[in-house]
Amino acid sequence: MSYSAEQKTVRHLLTSQLYRIPRNQRKYVWDKDNWEDLFLDLNFATKNNLSHFIGSMVLLKDEETVEGLPLLVVIDGQQRLFTITIFLAALLFVMKKYNLQNDYYGTEKYLYATDDKNISHHVFESSYHLGLGKILTAIPNLKFGRNVSIDSFLKTHVADKIRDKNIMDAFSFYVGKIEEFILQRKDDPQSITVLKDAILNTEYVRIEATTEEDSYTIFEILNARGQTLADHELLKNYVMRYIEPKEKVDNVKTEWEDTEKLLGRGINKYLLHYLIHRYKVDENDKKDAYKAIKKYVKITDIESFYSDFIQKAQYYSKLQNPRLVDGDGNEICSDLEYSIFTFFRKKRQEQFRPVILSLMHQKELGELPIEEYEQALEFIKNFFVCYTIIGKAKSNTLTSIISSYAFKLENSFSSDLLREFFKSLKDRIPNKDWFEKAFSMIGYSHHFKFYNDDKEEKKARLVLEIYEESLGNKNMPKEYTIEHILLDSDGEQNSNIGNLLPLEEGLNKKCANLPLKDKIKIYKKSDFKSVRRFVDRYENKTDTFKVEKRMSHLATEFYKIINKA
C-alpha cells in the first residue's frame, strides 16, 4: 500500500488545490452541536495562543489537473472540509459588511483558486450541495460596507432550500457567532482576524494515497469501528468501491439514497435484520453488522448482494411503515399484512422481522403460496400473543430459533421446514395448565383496580379479536364495546375474560343492568360470531353459565389455535 502522511495546516490544505467529493460520500450532516464544538475550539485556541487539531484527512490525487491546479478527491474528512469552507465563507461575508478589504482579499484566496488561464474555481465543491457553490459565487459580488440580511442573501442565492438546509443553517450560525465575537471585543470588526488565523492555522494529518484502492483501504481502517460513520454508510462505501461495471455507480448512488429515504433511521436496524435473515451468523456478527457482511460477501458477489439488499429494503419498509396503498393507489400491503404488521409495530415487536423477510421473499419467488404465507403470518402473531402477552414470557428467549430459521427459510425453503419452524416455537409454550393459569389473569372492568387499566383493556380486546378471527370473522370492526355478560359490579370475578364478549355499541347500551336471560334476545342481533356462538350455547340454559367454566373453555380454544398450525 502506497501513501504519504504528514502534518499540515488548513492554510496549506486550501492553497492552490481543488477538492471534490466522490459519489459514494455522505451528504453534509453536521449539525449545531458540531458547529458549536468547532467554534468553541477555535475560540479557545485564540485565547491560549494554541493551534487546533482536527484529525486526519484521506485524499486521493486525481491524474488530471485543472489548468495547472492539482485536483484531489476527499475520501475521508468531507464533513470537516465542508464546515471549514462554510466558516471561511461566513468570515468573508462579515468582512464585506465591515469594509475589511485587505483582510477580505487576504482570505479570499483560500476559497477561490485561479488557474493558468486566470479562471477562478471554488477550492472545495460538492456536486450534491449546489447551494454551497451558489454562496461562494455570490459573496465576491457583495459590496463592501453594505449590511446585507443573511436570510435575504440565502433566499436569493440558494435554490434548493430542502437539500441545502444544513448548508444554510451552518452559514447563518457562523455569521451569527462571528458577529457575537465582534461585540464581545469592544465592537471591533478587526478582531475577527484572530478567528481567521485560528482556522487557517488549524492542523490536520494529511494522508494522500496514490491509488483508489489504497485510499479506500485507509478510509476503512480509519472508520470501520463505526466511530465516525454508521454501518450503512460504511456498507455504501464498500458497495460503491467494488460495484461493476463502474457505469452503474450513478444508478447505485441514486438507489441507495432512495433506500435511505425510504427507511430513514431504521436503515441500520434493517442492516442487522437483513444480515440475520441472509447469512448464518453468530452473536459476534450481530455486534458489527457491516464487518459481518464484508466477511460473507465476496468482492465478486457485490452486484448480486446489492440487488438483493435493495429489494429486501422494499419488503422491510412494509414491516416498518405498513400502508395499504402508495400515493398512486398501488397496493403496498394486503389487508392481512397491514393488520398484522401494524399490530407488531404498535407492540414494538421487531424480533420476528428476519423470519418475515424470508417468508416475504419466498412468497415473491412463488415458493410459498399466498394462502400459506398468510397462515404463517397469523401463526407468528398468535404465537406472540400467547407466548409473550398472555404467557408473559420474555421474547428474547426466541433469538436463536428466529436467527436459525430465518436463514434456513431464506436459503433452503420447503413446506416441511416451515412446519418445523412452527413446531420449534410451539415447543416453547408450556403445558396447558400453565397456559390456563396465565389466561385466567386476563380481564377488564372499571369497578376493580387490578382490571381498570388501559393495558388490561387492550389485552382483553386482543384476546376477543383473535378468538373472533379463529371463528372465521376476518373483518373485525375497529369500533366495538366490551360487554360484561354478568354485571361486573357484582364481584371482581365478573371482570374475568370468561365474562367478556365483543358487542356493537348500540346493543351494549340496551343490555345495561339486564339479567342474562333478557340479554340473550339482544345478543341474537349481533354480527359477532363469538356472541352468536354464546347464544347457541346458553339461550335456553342461562342459569348454567359460569364465568370460570367459560374462561377455561376459552383457554382451551386458544391453546388449540396456537397448536393447530
Instruction: Write out pLDDT tens, residues 4-60.
Output: 778 999 999 999 999 998 766 668 989 998 898 899 888 878 877 878 888 888 888
CA quadruple 382, 385, 390, 393: dihedral sign? positive
Per-residue confidence at 229, pLDDT binned at 50, 70, 90? low
Phi/psi for 72 (5° steps) reads -125, 145
**pLDDT at residue 157 above 60?**
yes
Closest to 107 (Cα-Cα) out of 202, 197, 204: 197
Quick one: which H or E segment has residue 519?
A: helix 516-523
Nearest alpha carbon to residue 305 among 404, 260, 216, 239: 239
Q: Which of 141-155, 175-189, 426-440 has the lowest mean pLDDT?
A: 426-440
Question: What is the C-alpha separation between 562 and 565, in angstroms, rounded?
Answer: 6
pLDDT at 392: 80
Q: Can you tell me whether residue 127 is helix, strand or coil? A: coil
CA distance 25 to 10: 21
- Start-to-end CA distance of the chain, whole Å, equals 58
CA 121 to CA 527: how far, in whole Å?
A: 75
Alpha-carbon Rg for the chain in angstroms: 33
Please state, in angstroms and rounded to a whole number, the distance separating the CA atoms of residues 553 and 439. 11
| Integer Cα distance of 154 and 147 in angstroms | 14
pLDDT of residue 227: 44
What are the grid coordinates assigned to 246, written together?
A: 463502474
Residues paired with residue 336 on neighbouring β-strands, in sequence order? none
Cα separation, 121 vs 235, whole angstroms: 33
Q: pTM (2 decimals)?
A: 0.61
Helices (H), 192-282: 193-200, 212-223, 231-242, 249-263, 267-278
Please give the Cα distance from 177 to 91 (Å, whole number). 10
pLDDT of 550 over the 70 cut = yes
512: phi then psi, degrees, rounded to nearest 5: -55, 120
Residues whose CB is less than 8 angstroms from the CB of residue 258 and which lie 6 or more positions away in sequence, other chains included:
none
- Give the Cβ contact number of residue 410 at 10 Å: 21
What would the pLDDT profile of 390-433 be if each residue is shown by its tens digit? Answer: 888 777 788 899 999 999 999 999 999 999 999 999 888 878 88
Give burial (CB, 10 Å; 0-12/13-18/19+) of 150: middle
User: CB–CB of 206/6 below 8 Å?
Assistant: yes
Q: How far is CA 274 from the centre of its chain?
A: 13
